[in-house]
């Protein structure tokens, strides 16, 4: 039985954490982060740990970058808050313009939120409202994908496909799910995009359309590369075929780019990497390098114009958040995007993709490794589960890496790697060296 939690820790109900276990650990200071700079954390116990996960797939520019920190400090002393409900402040417009300037052609409008979860729910609401505006009010069903992660708000949970996230809340709204894209029989240890089965996997949408009829389906939402579901890279042709089918049936296609946006694949958005343009893109995380919470939805020009021209004198969409386009978040976004451009961090990610691929696939022959997969600067090693203890082996590898000064993330039976875009080739070799030692030491 765990020892009682310290009163100093008990008030904070930690998210996605076994609170009883964490708060009763003898080495809690070793897991409390007190400082960060560049690629590294410093813990309360004084240890240095390399952040090989961009913390939660989000610190793309690295930690405590001076330009971004300075922009936030300056803005806090000039304008702490102003509403964007029928008022506005200049930085929100400037941030939106910069983000739209990076987006795929034809997605030139930004609706700001405060997180990826809010961005997903906003995109789903825009899709539902759009069909109603166009006279297709029957289009209310939403299609997600197994193993997909779309945040923790009710809409995102409904279209998400991670069972542990959904089981406590029951069926939420009218949804269906495509199968996930992982097929170890066809594409085990694929380097980059798997070669086989992509179009056939996407064709499952035709089965769902036949079941529900296209006139009842509003949108399909997928992550171009599934992150929290275990880093699942789509096979060649998969996203292209989804785009074709959504266009054919009048269904909006939403890409959840909360993880893949802002350089993870070496391009501003995964949509550009795959050369597939959706109708809506959700973003968050990397837009401010996680310094201040911000998210948003990139909206196709034709959708935006239909709302603007079709709503008469009324508010076009009755939706928004108190902090949408917050001044500090807007300042952070502008400084972050300028940092990416000035330091050529997207180009760095592109240039290091081969080194990353060699590192992660160099682990494929180690004990208990059943798959390795990668794209850009994101990848995972999947381990065979222990009988009766799924996830235990990956968690032990995570703990061994932490003790060795490297932070990676256990996701079920997979171990994910997703470093900041400032990472060097030498640091990647250090990460994969430590990960390999941890796998070898874990029975």
Across all residues in the chain, what is the average pLDDT? Answer: 95
Phi, psi of 36 (to 5 degrees): -155, 150
- Entry pTM: 0.95
The confidence score (pLDDT) of residue 312 equals 75
Q: Summarize pLDDT for 402-418 with one digit per residue, the tens.
A: 999 999 999 999 999 99
Residue 32: CA count within 13 A, CB half-sphere: 13
Do 125 and 199 belong together in one domain? yes
Tokens read off for 422 = 């400032």
Do 288 and 378 belong together in one domain? no
Do 433 and 322 belong together in one domain? no
Do 328 and 363 belong together in one domain? no
% of the chain residues with pLDDT over 90: 91
Q: Is the pLDDT of residue 3 over 60?
A: no
Write out the residue range of the structural domain in which residue 51 sits. Answer: 32-61+344-440
**Across 365-389, average pLDDT:** 97
Asked which of 342, 367, 396 is the last residue of a domain, the reply is 342
The confidence score (pLDDT) of residue 91 equals 98
CA 224 remoteness from chain centre: 10
Whether the CB-CB separation of 190 and 157 falls below 8 Å is answered with no
Q: Summarize pLDDT for 33-62 with one digit per residue, the tens.
A: 999 999 999 999 999 999 999 999 999 999
Q: Summarize pLDDT for 77-102 with one digit per residue, the tens.
A: 999 999 999 999 999 999 999 999 99
Mark 274-313 as b/e (b = at least 16 C-beta within 10 Å). Answer: bebbbbbbbbbbbbbbbbbbbbbbbbbeebbeebeeeeee
CATH code at 156?
A: 3.40.640.10
In a domain, 236, yes or no: yes
In a domain, 372, yes or no: yes
Phi, psi of 335 (to 5 degrees): -65, -35
Q: How far apart are CA 113 and CA 175, in angstroms?
A: 23
Q: Summarize pLDDT for 189-247 with one digit per residue, the tens.
A: 999 999 999 999 999 999 999 999 999 999 999 999 999 999 999 999 999 999 999 99
């Amino acid at each position: 039985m765990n020892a009682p939690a310290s009163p100093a820790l008990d008030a904070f109900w930690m998210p996605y954490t076994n609170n009883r276990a964490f708060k009763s650990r003898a080495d809690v200071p070793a897991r409390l982060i007190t400082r960060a700079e560049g690629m590294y954390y410093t813990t309360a116990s004084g240890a240095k740990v390399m952040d090989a996960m961009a913390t939660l797939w989000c610190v793309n520019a690295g930690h405590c970058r001076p330009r971004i920190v300075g922009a936030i400090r300056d803005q806090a002393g000039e304008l702490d808050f102003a509403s964007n409900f029928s008022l506005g402040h200049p930085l929100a417009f400037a941030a939106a313009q910069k983000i739209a300037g990076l987006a795929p052609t034809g997605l030139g409008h930004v609706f700001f939120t405060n997180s990826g979860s809010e961005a997903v729910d906003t995109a789903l609401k825009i899709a539902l409202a759009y069909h109603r505006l166009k006279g297709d009010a029957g289009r209310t069903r939403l299609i997600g994908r197994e193993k997909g992660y779309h945040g923790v708000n009710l809409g995102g949970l409904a279209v998400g496909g991670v069972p542990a996230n959904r089981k406590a809340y029951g069926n939420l709204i009218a949804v269906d799910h495509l199968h996930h894209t992982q097929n170890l029989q066809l594409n085990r240890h694929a380097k980059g995009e798997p070669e086989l089965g992509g179009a056939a996997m996407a064709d499952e949408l035709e089965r769902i359309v036949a079941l529900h009829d296209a006139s009842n389906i509003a949108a399909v939402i997928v992550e171009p590369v599934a992150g929290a579901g275990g880093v699942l890279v789509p096979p060649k042709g998969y996203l292209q075929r989804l785009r074709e089918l959504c266009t054919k049936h009048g269904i909006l296609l939403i890409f959840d780019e909360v993880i893949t946006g802002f350089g993870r694949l070496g391009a501003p958005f995964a949509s550009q990497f795959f050369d597939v343009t959706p109708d809506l893109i959700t973003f968050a995380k990397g837009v401010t390098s996680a310094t201040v919470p911000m998210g948003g939805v990139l909206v196709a020009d034709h959708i935006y114009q239909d709302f603007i021209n079709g709503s008469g004198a009324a508010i076009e969409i009755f939706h928004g958040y108190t902090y949408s386009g917050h001044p500090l978040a807007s300042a952070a976004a502008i400084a972050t995007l300028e940092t990416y451009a000035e330091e050529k961090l997207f180009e760095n990610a592109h240039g290091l993709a081969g080194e990353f691929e060699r590192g992660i696939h160099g682990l494929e022959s180690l004990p208990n490794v059943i798959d390795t997969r990668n794209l850009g600067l994101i990848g995972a090693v999947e381990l065979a589960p222990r009988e009766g203890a799924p996830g235990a082996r990956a968690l032990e590898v995570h703990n061994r890496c932490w003790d060795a000064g490297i932070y990676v993330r256990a996701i079920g039976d997979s171990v994910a790697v997703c470093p900041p875009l400032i990472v060097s080739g030498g640091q990647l070799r250090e990460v994969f060296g430590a990960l390999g030692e941890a796998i070898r030491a874990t029975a």
